[in-house]
Chains A and B, each alone.
Chain A
Amino acid sequence: AQKVTQAQTEISVVEKEDVTLDCVYETRDTTYYLFWYKQPPSGELVFLIRRNSFDEQNEISGRYSWNFQKSTSSFNFTITASQVVDSAVYFCALSAVVSGGSYIPTFGRGTSLIVHP
């Protein structure tokens, strides 16, 4: 069975602060994929990043960075110099093999980030 835990239900910061969203996952598979999605107040879900289990390099995209550590089964997401437009619910997801051989994602419960001006 696979599981994703996002222990932070809600985070509130002031604009320009850095913020890290935690994601801890559980799986017995050696091959798996991790994702982050953003859900702004408008409601749509937007893909941010995918990382496979064999690639532990950290990634940076503008103000966004991701830290993948297999040793602690974590895939954390940091926003540097947060902005009001970053206010959203962020979901971490794990895709591992289910019966039938397909990779089906499991989502965490999400972290609501509120950035105050």
Chain B
Amino acid sequence: NAGVTQTPKFRVLKTGQSMTLLCAQDMNHEYMYWYRQDPGMGLRLIHYSVGEGTTAKGEVPDGYNVSRLKKQNFLLGLESAAPSQTSVYFCASSYDWDRGRLQQFFGPGTRLTVL
């Protein structure tokens, strides 16, 4: 039982390049989330999904796109990376019970640097 996994763990991009971060969970959770963590800013929600095929914007969605084609996977895409997107990205998932009120399970994070 791997829980929540994220690929890759580290990545360095040049401005303008694109990439996709993959999040996978094996707990059959309905809800999945993408956060970014920056020094002094806590965790800010980028996008979330309440089920396969559905996504919604969070607090800081600009410059990112997401897809949830399979229940166990949640992809975060950067179409044209900018230095402001240098951050640590966390994926999380939670049960559907009571519409996601239970605690979240987090992945180990992806450290992204955009030069």
A: residues with CB less than 8 A from B are 6, 9, 33, 35, 37, 43-45, 47, 50, 52, 91, 95, 100-110
List, in ascending order, chain B residues with CB within 8 A of A35's CB. Answer: 103
Contact of B104 among A43, A47, A109, A110 (CB under 8 A): A47
Whether A50 pairs with B103 at a CB distance below 8 angstroms is yes
Contact of A95 among B35, B41, B100 (CB under 8 A): B100
**Minimum CB–CB distance for A91 against chain B, Å:** 6
**Minimum CB–CB distance for B82 against chain A, Å:** 23
Q: Which of B18-26, B42-50, B73-81 contacts A (4 or more CB under 8 A)?
A: B42-50
**Minimum CB–CB distance for A36 against chain B, Å:** 10
List, in ascending order, chain B residues with CB within 8 A of A52's CB. Answer: 101
List, in ascending order, chain A residues with CB within 8 A of B56's CB. Answer: 100
List, in ascending order, chain B residues with CB within 8 A of A110's CB. Answer: 42-43
Measured CA separation A102–B35 after assembly (Å):
17
Chain A interface mostly: strand
Number of A-B contacts (CB under 8 A): 56
Contact of B61 with A by CB under 8 A: no
Knowing A45-B90, A109-B40 are in contact, say whether A103-B101 is a contact too (CB < 8 A): yes
List, in ascending order, chain B residues with CB within 8 A of A37's CB. Answer: 106
Name which residue of chain B comes closest to A101, CB basis: B99
Contact of B62 with A by CB under 8 A: no
**Minimum CB–CB distance for A103 against chain B, Å:** 5
Measured CA separation A108–B88 after assembly (Å):
16
Nearest first, the 4 A-B pairs at minimum CB distance are A109-B42, A45-B106, A107-B43, A47-B103
List, in ascending order, chain A residues with CB within 8 A of B58's CB. Answer: 104
Whether B103 pairs with A109 at a CB distance below 8 angstroms is no
Knowing A35-B103, A45-B90, A45-B106 are in contact, say whether A102-B40 is a contact too (CB < 8 A): no
**Minimum CB–CB distance for A21 against chain B, Å:** 13
List, in ascending order, chain A residues with CB within 8 A of B103's CB. Answer: 35, 47, 50
